Amino acid sequence: MKLIKIHNNSLLSFLNYTGLNVCYISNTILSRNTFHNQRELSSLYTGLPVSLYTTHVSRGSVPGEDGEGDSGVQTLINIHLPSRSPGTRDAGGERERRVITIRKELLAMEAEMQAFVDSLRHNLTAEDVVNLEACMDCKMCGEACAWYLVTGDEKLHPTYKTGFIRQIYRRYMTLEGQIGGALGLVPTPTLADLKEHMQYFWACTACGRCTLACPSGISIRRIVRLARAAYADSGLSYANPTIRSIIENTDRHRHSFGLTAAQVLGRVGLFLRNEGLEAPVNVQNAEFLFVCPAAGNTKIPDYGIKLIKILNAAGVSYTISPYVIDTGTEIDHIAVHHKLSKQMLEDWEQEADRLGVQKILLVECGCDTRTLYAEASETLGRPFRYPIVSVDALMLDLIKQGRLPVEKTHLKVTLHDPCYATRLSGLGDLFRELLNLVTDNFIEMTPNREYNYCCNGGAGGMRLPENTATRRKISVLKANQIRATGADFVTSPCVVCTLSLEDTCQTYQLSPSGDRMALVLFEVVYAAMEPALAKLGELDRMRVPAVLRNCDQEFFIAHSVEGQMMRLMQQPDFPELLDWLEQDDIVKRFSKDHPQVYDDIRALREMVMNCENCD
């Protein structure tokens, strides 16, 4: 047996040196796709069947070049050669064998890199591999990416991300890369490279527009999602404080912003109480389970009251859960943490089971649309168990059925297509049909539908503060689109899009008065509904939901938001909740049009103090 160390020889020289017949079986990482890659190596280098046989030897058992034992564990690649001539034997009657020793350190990976590669290996499909291999590096995808078009930064080009993942795939997940990398012939991405590239996978909204420009139709957003999942699985994404908070808040509170159920329901309850409205909680056998995305009940719960008024006015049978207070948008599309995303989806299903509802009502969130229409099946490993109904589709049906009266508004409004709802889920025509029923002054922006530019806020664009300066810079494209329409308002059927659009409108001073210019689509519907109800003398239809009408007092208290507030008042930490509400920025915003809301907080505090005195 001859021991030789190979350092920087080329793979071709390596195979030429070893001969024609190389036998390979391994209990190391090189074992993946063994037979397929044997044939590839055979055709590329020898024209004959190729295989290798690797074993491990313990520390010090292989002599080093200096005659002393080599430190560390070694990997032996045994190369089996044919006889010197057919039918003859070498001296001693043994077939010549050369054994090549490669340091295991060249094949080994650091723990985080191993976890990253394992995640890719687990999640990559055959189609993903085709996507990785099909890229011609023509860079046409960059011509559709707003982040690259405005900045010209090559690190924001889609291929900067896909090229890096392709490099990892080829180095660590193909036999050629594993052998070539061990010999120093194939570039070897390191843990430091992973950390350096990480930020650029979140300087992207995974909107999918780049795919429209790709001659091969490669789903670059899919590769970005695979990378984000691998960063989560390896623990590397925890280094980003925002992503870490999303993961930890979802795990601890089942709410990506970290709000508790008491805070979510307490704030909504305060707003409903102030306006003399009700919403159903924990009602059995309603038609719909209404779950609001965290961005909605964190950032715009005061605007969201209008959607409750619409559902009440139309007599929709729905219920809110006191336990499921987030849809999992951010854990699925920003953190791409598949384990927690799966748990969130299962929470929905289990709560729907408990309440006996028939369907899930999908509130206006583009990312949730994509999740429930497409990616839930991948996350769960099966279809989501309940039918999904978009609230926009519901409002459209309600208007057509005459259950929701509307009178067309004269709002001069343009529509922003959410990438995840229009380009990735095909709902663009539905939004236009709805808008044309509620306004007589709808103006299309250009480009639109699936070719529309992203709002640059979704899937982390707006949530990660380090993106703010770049996001605002590239949003000049969106600002120019809106300005060119001459519209007074821009609407979108997505909470995050609306938040990002408003930031863009303010940044580029699109509203002459500085007033709010971006509306959620249900707000436009509300603007058409309210005057229609007033004309009918039926404004009170907005106050009480169908499932709470004509019920006894006991049922009402058990299943109304007011009853929920009464139960919160009995909790020892209710004074702390009131303190939080008094300081809350959303309550402050609500108070501009409803100044008496602080009187309501004081009244609740006095009620608690009186109850304590009674005890």
Is residue 101 located within the same domain as residue 123?
no
Output the pTM of the full model.
0.83
Query: Do both 359 and 489 map to the same domain?
Result: no
Burial of 550 (0-12, 13-18, 19+ CB in 10 A): exposed
Cis peptide leading into residue 322 (ω within 30°): no
- Sheet of 288-291: strand order equals 318-320, 288-291, 359-362, 388-390
- The pLDDT of residue 215 is 93
250 within a domain of the structure (yes/no): no
**What CATH code is carried by the domain that includes residue 235?**
1.10.1060
Select the more confidently predicted residue: 16 or 479.
479
In a domain, 599, yes or no: no
Mean pLDDT of the chain: 84
Whether residue 263 sits in one domain with residue 399: yes
* pLDDT, mean of residues 138-155: 96
| Range in 61-70, 553-562, 579-588 the model is least confident about | 61-70
Rg of the chain over all Cα atoms, to the nearest angstrom = 31
Q: Please state, in angstroms and as integers, the Cα–Cα distance from residue 369 to each residue in 375, 391, 421, 422, 424, following that order.
A: 9, 11, 6, 9, 9
Report pLDDT for 48. Answer: 35
pLDDT tens-place string over residues 432-485: 999 999 999 999 999 999 999 999 999 999 999 999 999 999 999 999 999 999
Domain membership flag for residue 160: yes
Q: What is the pLDDT of residue 45?
A: 33
Average pLDDT value for residue range 30-52: 35
Contact (CB, 8 A) for 338 and 260: no
Residue 125 lies in a domain: yes
Using the predicted structure, report yes or no on whether residue 38 has a pLDDT greater than 60: no
pLDDT of residue 261: 95
Q: Are 28 and 124 in contact (CB under 8 A)?
A: no
**Is residue 105 within 8 Å of 74, Cβ to Cβ?**
no
CA–CA distance, 310 with 325 (Å, rounded to integer): 20
Please say which residue of 57, 86, 107 terminates a domain.
107
**CA 535 to centroid of chain Cα atoms:** 43
Contact 170, 177 (CB under 8 A): yes
What domain count does the chain have? Answer: 4
Tokens describing residue 134: 């099909």
| pLDDT-wise least confident of 239-243, 316-320, 478-482, 549-553 | 549-553
Q: Is the domain of 430 the same as that of 450?
A: yes
Instruction: List beta partners, residue 5.
Output: 101
| pLDDT value of position 183 | 81
Quick one: pLDDT band at residue 608, thresholds 50, 70, 90? confident
Query: Do residues 393 and 314 both lie within one domain?
Result: yes
The predicted pLDDT at position 365 comes to: 87
pLDDT for position 176: 87
User: How confident is residue 613, by pLDDT bands cut at 50, 70 and 90?
Assistant: low
In this prediction, residue 75 carries a pLDDT of 38
Same domain for 281 and 200? no
Residues near 431 by beta carbon (within 8 Å), at least 6 away in sequence: 392, 415, 417, 421, 422, 493, 521
Domain membership flag for residue 611: no
Amino acid 615: pLDDT: 53
* Two structure tokens written together for 365: 């969130």
Q: Give the burial string for 477-501 (b: 16+ CB within 10 Å, else e).
A: ebbebbeebebbbbbbbbbbbbbbb
By CB atoms closer than 10 A (0-12, 13-18, 19+), residue 586 is middle
Sequence-separated (6 or more) residues with CB below 8 Å from residue 88: none
Tell me, yes or no, whether 412 and 532 share the same domain.
Answer: yes
Task: Give the Cα separation of 304 and 296 in Å (integer).
Answer: 7
- pLDDT attached to residue 95: 38
Cβ-proximal residues to 548 (8 Å cutoff; 6+ apart), any chain: 278, 280, 283, 555, 556, 559, 560
Helical segments of 174-219, H only: 175-182, 191-202, 209-213
- Sheet with 53-57, strands from edge to edge, namely 2-5, 97-103, 74-80, 53-57
Task: State residue 267's pLDDT score.
Answer: 96
Q: Are residues 94 and 218 in the same domain?
A: no
The identity of residue 134, as a single letter, is: A
Do 93 and 115 share a domain, yes or no? no
Q: Are strands 489-492 and 442-443 parallel, antiparallel or unpaired?
A: unpaired
Which of the listed residues 208, 239, 270 is the one where a domain comes to its end?
239
On the CB side of 475, how many CA atoms lie within 13 Å of its CA?
Answer: 29
CA distance 528 to 35: 66
Residue 80 has pLDDT above 60, yes or no: no
In a domain, 588, yes or no: no
Q: Tell me what percent of the residues of the chain surpass a pLDDT of 90.
A: 75
pLDDT (0 to 100) of residue 387:
95
Both tokens of 262, joined, read 């008491």
- pLDDT of the residue at 163: 96
Q: Rounded CA gap, 206 and 367, in Å?
A: 10
Token digits of residue 474? 């590239």
pLDDT at 61: 34
Same domain? 392 vs 469: no
CB neighbourhood size of 385 (10 A)? 15
363 and 453 share a domain? no
Counting Cα atoms < 13 Å in the Cβ hemisphere of 13 gives: 7
Q: Which of 53, 86, 107 is the last residue of a domain?
A: 107
**How does residue 612 score in pLDDT terms, banded at 50, 70 and 90?**
low
Instruction: Supply the pLDDT for residue 602.
Output: 94
| Residue 16 predicted with pLDDT over 90 | no
167 located within any domain: yes
Provide the pLDDT confidence category of residue 551 given band limits of 50, 70 and 90. Answer: very high
d(CA 29, CA 47) in angstroms, rounded, equals 25
> According to the model, what pLDDT value does residue 68 have?
38
Q: Which of 415, 580, 556, 566 is nearest to 481 (CA)?
A: 415
Q: Which residue has the tokens 């854990």?
A: 331
Residue 108 confidence (pLDDT): 60
Q: What's the average model confidence in pLDDT over 420-434?
A: 95
| CA 333 to chain CA centroid, nearest Å | 0
Q: Express each pLDDT in 313-329 by its tens digit.
A: 999 999 999 999 999 99
The pLDDT value recorded for residue 26 is: 32
> Contact, 250 vs 330, CB < 8 A?
yes
pLDDT for position 553: 93
Strand partners, 491: 415, 519
State mean pLDDT over 543-557: 95
Q: Supply angle C-alpha 164, 167, 170, rounded to 5.
A: 150
The CATH number that applies at residue 493 is: 3.40.50
Domain that holds residue 10: 2-107
Tell me, yes or no, whether 123 and 203 share the same domain: yes
Stretch 21-43: mean pLDDT: 34
With contact defined as beta carbons under 8 Å apart, do 338 and 322 qualify? no
Rounded Cα distance between 9 and 25, Å, is 22
Q: Is 55 exposed, middle or buried (0-12, 13-18, 19+ CB in 10 A)?
A: middle
